[in-house]
Amino acid sequence: MLVSAKEMLNKARDGHYAVGQFNINNLEWTKCILQTAEELKAPVILGVSEGAGKYMCGYDTVVGMVKGMIKCLNITVPVALHLDHGTFEGAKACINAGFSSIMFDGSHYPIEENLKLTTALVNTCDILGISLEAEVGAIGGEEDGVSSMGECADPAECKMIADLGVTMLAAGIGNIHGKYPEGWPGLRFDVLENIKKTVGDMPLVLHGGTGIPEDMVKKAINLGVAKVNVNTECQISFTAAVRKYIEDGKDLQGKGFDPRKVLAPGCEAIKETVREKMEIFGCIGKA
Ligand SMILES: [Zn+2]
């Protein structure tokens, strides 16, 4: 069932666990994540970046693929199809294409502009029953070859955005996209506590879930994080497994060159990563 992320995140917040957002890149990714969620009876959010959307031949293709799989694989757990770090234009395109959840990332704008653009989306999403994620305080990561140690959001700005009526809020608490750099000082729980105190009930989102130590993720969930985004980790485990298959020469044995065989170890690796993450997030059996 393709649903808004609102209900699953409110339940997660109340139950002190988090729902995983796993980004998809193609058919294999989507299938593996859906199968694992179903097997573990966990609600799940499929994240689609604008780049991945383009790669998969546009948002209509993505919606068609996900809906087709939900039907074909008899997926009964709640699934949200979510635009990750969308621009304003991207958000509109995904709403039109039938996404059930949108992230509008206005964190690189001055707060006034972020407020204005987020406001414009709140009503539309509300009417259509689509969940909306907003972001305050850019989430660090490697951009143009420069990697930062992670920024922190201003709790007062978080409150302004939360009060617009968004469904969930991503706020920088020292987290970073991609691999964490040497000497990363860790999540800023003091900032997270302050934000939580200021915004109240709003489910919070932790981006950059790859490589944050397990105990830190659990602590963040205890402090109000209800959604954790995972992307890089599935990419790393998928590629390592496919590399091993080829390095072991399995593609040269029999019909080992069949792409379905080549990608199969990668798929198993994604499933394992998703399972490990869901165990940490505590969302298994919560569908
Ligand atoms: Zn992110």
- Can you give the pLDDT of all 287 residues of the chain as single tens digits? 799 999 999 999 999 999 999 999 999 999 999 999 999 999 999 999 999 999 999 999 999 999 999 999 999 999 999 999 999 999 999 999 999 999 999 988 999 999 999 999 999 999 999 999 999 877 766 544 555 667 888 999 999 999 999 999 999 998 988 888 888 889 999 999 999 999 999 999 999 888 899 999 999 999 999 999 999 999 999 999 999 999 999 999 999 999 999 999 999 999 999 999 999 999 999 99
* Distance in Å, CA 173 to ligand 1 centroid: 12
- What pLDDT is attached to residue 185? 87
- What pLDDT is attached to residue 146? 52
With respect to residue 271, please indicate whether it lies within any of the assigned structural domains.
Answer: no
Helix H segments across 56-134?
A: 59-72, 88-97, 111-128
- What pLDDT is attached to residue 177? 86
With respect to residue 86, please indicate whether it lies within any of the assigned structural domains.
Answer: yes
* Distance in Å, CA 219 to ligand 1 centroid: 19
**Domain of 188?**
6-232
Catalytic residue among 14, 60, 84, 154: 84
* Distance in Å, CA 60 to ligand 1 centroid: 22
Phi, psi of 137, deg, nearest 5: 75, 105
- What pLDDT is attached to residue 144? 46
Instruction: Decide: 23 and 53 in contact? Cβ < 8 Å.
Output: no
The rounded distance, in Å, linking the Cα atoms of 282 and 287 is 11
pLDDT digits (tens, 9 = 90+) for 99-128: 999 999 998 899 999 999 999 999 999 999
With respect to residue 144, please indicate whether it lies within any of the assigned structural domains.
Answer: yes
With respect to residue 21, please indicate whether it lies within any of the assigned structural domains.
Answer: yes
* Distance in Å, CA 100 to ligand 1 centroid: 18
* Distance in Å, CA 195 to ligand 1 centroid: 18
Task: Give the CATH number, domain containing residue 89.
Answer: 3.20.20.70
- What pLDDT is attached to residue 107? 87
With respect to residue 287, please indicate whether it lies within any of the assigned structural domains.
Answer: no
With respect to residue 240, please indicate whether it lies within any of the assigned structural domains.
Answer: no
With respect to residue 237, please indicate whether it lies within any of the assigned structural domains.
Answer: no
With respect to residue 266, please indicate whether it lies within any of the assigned structural domains.
Answer: no
Please state, in angstroms and as integers, the Cα–Cα distance from residue 179 to each residue in 76, 82, 143, 172, 210, following that order: 33, 22, 12, 16, 7
- What pLDDT is attached to residue 208? 87
pLDDT digits (tens, 9 = 90+) for 142-187: 544 555 667 888 999 999 999 999 999 999 998 988 888 888 889 9
Q: Residue 143 has which token pair?
A: 């951009």
**What letters, b where the CB count within 10 A reaches 16 and e where it falls short, cover 141-158?**
beeeeebbebbbbbbebb
* Distance in Å, CA 72 to ligand 1 centroid: 30
- What pLDDT is attached to residue 142? 57
How many domains, the chain? 1
84 catalytic per annotation: yes
The rounded distance, in Å, linking the Cα atoms of 90 and 107 is 15
Instruction: Decide: 30 and 69 in contact? Cβ < 8 Å.
Output: yes
